[in-house]
Amino acid sequence: MLFACVNDIDTIKKVTYDPKSPDNVTQNLEVKYTDSGYAKIQVFAKLAETYTKPESIMKLKDGLKINFFSEKGEIVSQLTALYGEINYSKGFFFVKDSVQLYNFEKKQRLETEELNWNQKDSAIYSNKSVIVRTPGGILFGDGIRTKQDFSYYEFIKPKGKIDFDKENKK
C-alpha cells in the first residue's frame, strides 16, 4: 500500500502566513557599517526584526546601542535607547524610550524620550523635551539639533543655567 502527500505552497501560505510578521528575527544583533574599510557606526540590539514590505525596515527592541566612530576609528559618541527603527529605504533612524547620546571627549550627555537621525547628513534632532548634562551645568530645552558625534548642539527652545567659566577651564 502506498500513500502520497502533496503540499500546495499557496495553501500553506494562506494557513501560516501573517503579513504583519517580520521576514527575519535576530537576537543579539551586532552590525558594523564601514566606508572604504573604516568603521563609521556599530549597532547592537538585543532583538532585531527585519521587514521588507512595504518598506525595508528593521525594528530594534529590548535595548540598543550605537557607536559612532571618528575618521581615526575611535568611538566619539554613543547612542542608547530601548527601541529603534531603521528605515533603509529613506536612510532614516528613529529611537525612543530612555534615549541617551553621549560624547566621550566633551563628557556631555543628551537625554530625551525620542530622537530622529538622518543618516544621509548625520543630523540628529528631536522636538521633545531634552536635557543636556555637561561638566559646566545642566541645560533644558524643547527640541534639539546636533550631529551624530554630539560635538555641538543647538536647542530649539532652550531653558536652564550654565557656568561658562567651568566650561572654558578644560
Copy the grid coordinates of residue 67.
Answer: 557607536
Interior angle at CA 120, CA 117 and CA 124, nearest 5: 25
- The pLDDT assigned to 37 comes to 78
- The pTM assigned to this predicted structure is 0.80
Average pLDDT, the chain: 86
Confidence of residue 13 (pLDDT cuts 50, 70, 90): low
Q: What is the DSSP letter of 27?
A: E
> Which CATH code for domain 20-168?
2.60.450.10
Residue 71's pLDDT is what? 86
Residue 20 has pLDDT above 80, yes or no: no
Q: 108: which 3 cell numbers?
A: 556631555
* Residue 4 pLDDT level (bands cut at 50, 70, 90): low
pLDDT at 103: 96
91-149 per-position pLDDT tens digit: 899 999 999 999 999 999 999 999 999 988 889 999 999 999 999 888 899 999 998 88
CA distances from 101 to 3, 11, 15 (A): 63, 48, 44
Question: With the CA atoms of 167, 168, 169 and 170 taken in that order, what torsion angle do they form, in degrees rounded to the nearest 10?
Answer: 70
> Could you state, in order of their start, the residue ranges of all structural domains in the chain?
20-168
Owner of C-alpha cell 577651564: 169
Per-residue pLDDT, 69: 93
